[in-house]
Amino acid sequence: MTPSIRLYVPAPLSEGVKIAAGDGQAHYLGGVMRRGVGDAVLLFNGTDGEWRATIAAIKRDRATFTVEAQTRPQLPEPDLWLAFAPLKRDATDLVVQKATELGAAAILPVITARTNAARVNTERFAAIAAEAAEQCERLSVPRIAEPVAFERLLRDWPPERRLVLAAERAEAGPIRPVTGPVALMIGPEGGFTPQELDLAARHPFVHMVSLGPRILRAETAAIVGLALLQASSGG
Ligand code: SAM
């Protein structure tokens, strides 16, 4: 029977290696899922594919696994990033979780003029992303970047990557299929300022798009935009 528990472990995976469980994983396995020594789990680390392992030892806050056999090879994943202005906590958590499910390779918190998120907790983002990757059976977890100001993001942007900027109320066309590296940029609840849109428009890698005639919540826009880009990139 295929084990139902998948865990992300940032450690090399190969036959016979012993791996220590990460923070919270021992408690989750033993305390929540009532698993014990000899029970099977699936492990992935973002580079070596997915491996079946068994619990070799487990206590309240510690566990070790013995890696047995590869169950899925590592496959290429869409090269799709999400840059977004952090929102209120629940909405931000939703964006990180859905971006992970939709295959985002990187999640970039961007501080714009109207961003009203006091603190950006990237450790929280990483934990949410790992859990979402485990649940949706991805073989990787998105990279979480440190927060950056919008102007700095544009200044340091890799020019070979198309930046699809969702510009509410702008005269812009819909998202079209994009090949190659791409990112979606979503603004804050208050939207982009005219100055930010002017600045963005001056960069050749920026491509303004409309997500339709209605003004979507930022979290809705992130999910819709990623789904459209993911579908067009075949990922
Ligand atoms: N307060 C802004 C206003 O009333 O114009 C709306 C901002 S909207 C809640 C948050 C973000 O979602 C926007 O900055 C944009 O990135 C995206 N968004 C929402 N609706 C959109 C649309 N119809 N087209 C393009 N982007 C949209």
Which pLDDT tens digit goes with each residue over 23-38? 899 999 999 999 999 9
* Distance in angstroms (rounded) separating the CA atoms of residues 108 and 115: 14
Asked, colleague to colleague, whether 6-72 and 80-233 share their fold, the answer is no
Please report the atom of ligand 1 found closest to the CA of residue 187: 14
Q: Is the per-residue pLDDT at 1 higher than 70?
A: no
Going by pLDDT thresholds of 50, 70 and 90, the confidence category of residue 4 is: confident
User: What are the CA-CA distances from residue 98 to residues 5, 101, 118, 136, 224 (Å)?
Assistant: 20, 5, 22, 10, 10
* Distance in angstroms (rounded) separating the CA atoms of residues 189 and 45: 34
The closest alpha carbon to 222, from 165, 152, 151, 137, belongs to 165
Instruction: Average the pLDDT over 4-25 and give the result.
Output: 95
Ligand 1 neighbourhood includes 216 CB (under 6 angstroms): yes
Percent of the chain scoring above 70 in pLDDT: 97
**pLDDT on residue 2:** 60
- The rounded Å distance from CA 208 to ligand 1 centre is 12
Ligand 1 neighbourhood includes 192 CB (under 6 angstroms): yes
* Distance in angstroms (rounded) separating the CA atoms of residues 27 and 62: 8
Among 168, 175, 209, residue to substitute to test ligand 1 (most atoms within 8 Å of Cβ): 168
Domain 6-72 has CATH 3.30.750.24: no
Helices (H), 102-173: 122-136, 150-155
Please report the atom of ligand 1 found closest to the CA of residue 217: 9
Q: Is the per-residue pLDDT at 119 higher than 90?
A: no
**Where are the chain's structural domains?**
6-72, 80-233
The pTM is what? 0.95
Question: In terms of CATH, what superfamily is 80-233?
Answer: SPOUT methyltransferase, trefoil knot domain (3.40.1280.10)
Instruction: Average the pLDDT over 153-165 and give the result.
Output: 97
